Amino acid sequence: MMKLTVRLDRMRIRAFHGLLPQERVVGNIFEVSVNVWFKVTASVETTEDIGSTVNYAELAEMTRQIMSVPCDLIETVAVKIMHAVCDRWSFIEGGRVTVTKVTPPVPVQMKGASVEIEW
């Protein structure tokens, strides 16, 4: 069995997630990666039918829309993306969503604070 992975790497999206009031006003840059995998079917190999795969443009837009609704926790955002992906493409066997807040409001220098969900 062959497995095919569709991957969106580190989409940069401005959003307003966070527990602190200033995060809802100022916002932050987030990097979101979405990876999904599924069995390669004959239609992917021979017909080039977009309906037999995950349309990455649609996946990016779905992610952007979910990111546009503020949440207290980036964990919640990751779970919402996972559910939307699974609801849209029933043939997906598994995936991974990573949400990174690039400049979290903490007094320690870092490249970002991330959560990741894998199913």
What's 5-17 look like in SS3?
Answer: EEEEEEEEEEECC
Give pLDDT tens digits for 55-99: 999 999 999 999 999 999 999 999 999 999 999 999 999 999 999
Architecture of domain 3-118: 2-Layer Sandwich (3.30)
Strand pairing category for 3-15 and 113-118:
unpaired
Name the CA dihedral angle for 4, 9, 14, 15, rounded to a multiple of 10 degrees. Answer: 50
Q: Does the global pTM surpass 0.75?
A: yes
Q: What is the DSSP letter of 20?
A: S
Strand-pairing partners, residue 96, are 35, 118
Domain ranges of the chain: 3-118
Q: Chain-centre distance of CA 56, in angstroms?
A: 11
Give pLDDT tens digits for 53-62: 999 999 999 9
Q: How far is CA 38 from CA 35, 41, 63, 97, 111, in A?
A: 10, 9, 19, 15, 31
